[in-house]
Amino acid sequence: EVRLVESGGGLVQPGGSLTLSCAASGFTFSSYAMSWVRQAPGEGLDWVSAISSTGGTTYYADSVKGRFTVSRDNSKNALYLQLNSLRAEDTAVYYCATRSSGSGKRPLDYWGQGTLVTVSS
């Protein structure tokens, strides 16, 4: 069974930093691209970032480019998101998500339970 467990959320001041983690199990982590998706309170889903299976290629939404950094450690089955220069509008539940097996393009079939990041003074 695929399991994704996020951690690291919390309250941080504007301009501060935070690192989120996602522990993966139940699938061959090193074979799949991974994504982060966030959801501000009462709002919709917003794709934030993705990283290739090897970690060699990263992708970002324009809203976080230059401030957030995605990385992974395939030896630990772990995904990370470093959040810098945080703003009030970054307040959201952050989900770790991935695709199912198979070739080609796939949607985000598996999601963690999310971790809440609150940016406030």
Partner 1 sequence: DIQMTQSPSSLSASVGDRVTITCRASQGISNYLAWFQQKPGKAPKSLIYGASSLQGGVPSRFSGSGSGTDFTLTISSLQPEDFATYYCQQYNSYPMYTFGQGTKLEIK
- Find the part of the chain contacting partner 1 (CB under 8 A) among 15-23, 72-80, 83-91, 105-113: 105-113
CA gap 15, 74 in Å, rounded: 30
- Report the b/e string of 20-53 with b at 16+ CB within 10 A: bbbbbeebebeebbbbbbbeeeeeeeeebbbbee
Instruction: Return the residue of 2, 46, 55, 78 that touches partner 1, per CB under 8 A.
Output: 46
- How many residues at the interface with partner 1, by CB under 8 A? 22
59 binds partner 1 (CB under 8 A): yes
47 binds partner 1 (CB under 8 A): yes
114 binds partner 1 (CB under 8 A): yes
Dihedral, 27, 99, 37, 35 alpha carbons, nearest 10 = 70
Tokens read off for 83: 């959040």
Instruction: Return the residue of 2, 23, 33, 78 that touches partner 1, per CB under 8 A.
Output: 33
121 binds partner 1 (CB under 8 A): no
Residue 103 phi, psi (nearest 5): -95, 165
Name the site residues for partner 1 (rule: CB under 8 A): 33, 35, 37, 44-47, 50, 52, 59, 62, 95, 99, 105-109, 111-114
